[in-house]
A and B are shown apart, each in its own frame.
Chain A
Amino acid sequence: MREVRFASGHAYTYGDLIWTAGGRARALPGAHVIRSLADVDALRSQLSHAHRILIVGAGYIGLEAAAVLTKLGKQVTLTEAADRVLSRCAAEPLSRFLEAEHRARGVDLRLSTPDVEAAGFDLVIAGIGIEPNADPLLTAGAEGGDGVLVDDHCRTTLPHVWAAGDCALHRNPFGPDRPIRIESVQNASDMATTIARALTGQPQPYQAMPWFWSNQYDLRLQTVGLSHDHDEVLVRGDPATRKFAVIYRRNGRVIALDCVNNVRDYVQGRALIESGAELAVADLTNPDLPLKSLLES
């Protein structure tokens, strides 16, 4: 029988079940997290009394929180266990650039600092990642592990059970040759569309180009593609101008770009990734050559 039973005792039967349970922020005792509107409301309600703020974790959440709180006049300390910011998702040139930007605005950034010492701070925020909410499906026998495994139509291995978003472990056509999870608005939205299409008789496999953005101060970071398993990193343009791109390649092909204050390279880089073309390093790293022109020659 297709039935979902809740701890409250309620039970629902279904024809198809769409699982979009997302993830839960990893917690630190006494620390705020930034995941839901309620989380942010709770944080905001404490802000007026907080001046010295500790943020644990220099991923996107930590960096964006540092930017917002610094702009609000708070004294922000940002600690990161790894030896650079964004170590899980970006290459070193972008990390170093962002570290300098945050420090220039007064953030006390402490790298290689795995221990949390909250004494002396008025408020602590943890930005140390999420755990996917997939346990009930895994317990029911769905394949997965770090999330629930879905195919290219977002079907889990359980009949009539679909999954989308942060919790969906999938093989991405733009990613590495193994299942991954993607925590992004784009992924959640396009996977949901994939399920809706399949359920309404217009199936179309999930093949959307991944993209992502992060705003910090006056910096607009835009990412296109997936940089997993890159074997080469190129810097296009001079980070000192605060407008540049980091290009990721695998086997000679461009697989992703991180673009800072550089919408044009973000837009034109997408076509570069789609093309799969092998291009000369000298051309890719010459900011005077539009990326678009590299495909025309």
Chain B
Amino acid sequence: MPTVTVTTRDGRTKEITAQSGRSLMENLRAGGIEEILALCGGCCSCATCHVYVEDEWLGALPPVSDDEDDLLSTSGARQSNSRLSCQIRITDALDGIAVTVAPED
């Protein structure tokens, strides 16, 4: 099963054993990362599952859709490596991916 490394807002890093086929957001929530609010439940309707993806992994991800792009633009903390974690489906190919929880807006 793929492993996800996540850095929370207090700077601590945690490894999560992820389930392929589920979104990164669902995996983070299941892994106890409560800073990921994911208020809309993962239907790309808010921006409360915002993470920064370590640059080397960006290319392995599906492209940012127009909707995701618009929602990310609502965040004052957006960076070039910003993604909504609900829009990333975990696969074996993403084993080892590292993300950081973006600051709260």
Do A and B make up one complex? Answer: yes
Q: Would you give the shortest CB distance from A196 to chain B, in whole angstroms? A: 13
- Interface SS of chain B: loop
Q: How many A-B residue pairs have CB under 8 A?
A: 30
Is A215 positioned at the interface, with any CB of B under 8 Å from its CB?
yes
Q: In the complex, are the beta carbons of A263 and B39 less than 8 A apart?
A: no
Interface size class of A (residues with CB under 8 A): 10 to 19
Q: In the complex, are the beta carbons of B71 and A211 less than 8 A apart?
A: no
Indicate whether A267 sits within 8 Å of B71 (C-beta atoms), given known contacts A211-B46, A220-B45, A222-B45. Answer: yes
Q: Would you give the shortest CB distance from B72 to chain A, in whole angstroms? A: 9
Is A68 positioned at the interface, with any CB of B under 8 Å from its CB?
no
Number of interface residues of B (CB under 8 A): 13
Q: In the complex, are the beta carbons of A213 and B46 less than 8 A apart?
A: yes
Which residues of the partner chain B approach A213 to less than 8 Å between Cβ atoms?
A: 40, 43, 45-46
Which residues of the partner chain A approach B44 to less than 8 Å between Cβ atoms?
A: 220, 263
Is A264 positioned at the interface, with any CB of B under 8 Å from its CB?
yes
Q: Would you give the shortest CB distance from A4 to chain B, in whole angstroms? A: 26
Which residues of the partner chain A approach B70 to less than 8 Å between Cβ atoms?
A: 263-264, 266-267
- Interface SS of chain A: helix
Which residues of the partner chain A approach B73 to less than 8 Å between Cβ atoms?
A: 267
Is A230 positioned at the interface, with any CB of B under 8 Å from its CB?
no
CB-contacts of A221-243 with B (<8 A): 222
**Per-position 1/0 for B11-45, Cβ under 8 A of A:** 00000000000000000000000000101100111
Additional pairs, 8, CB under 8 Å, beyond known A220-B43, A263-B71: A189-B37, A213-B40, A213-B46, A263-B67, A267-B70, A267-B71, A267-B73, A267-B74
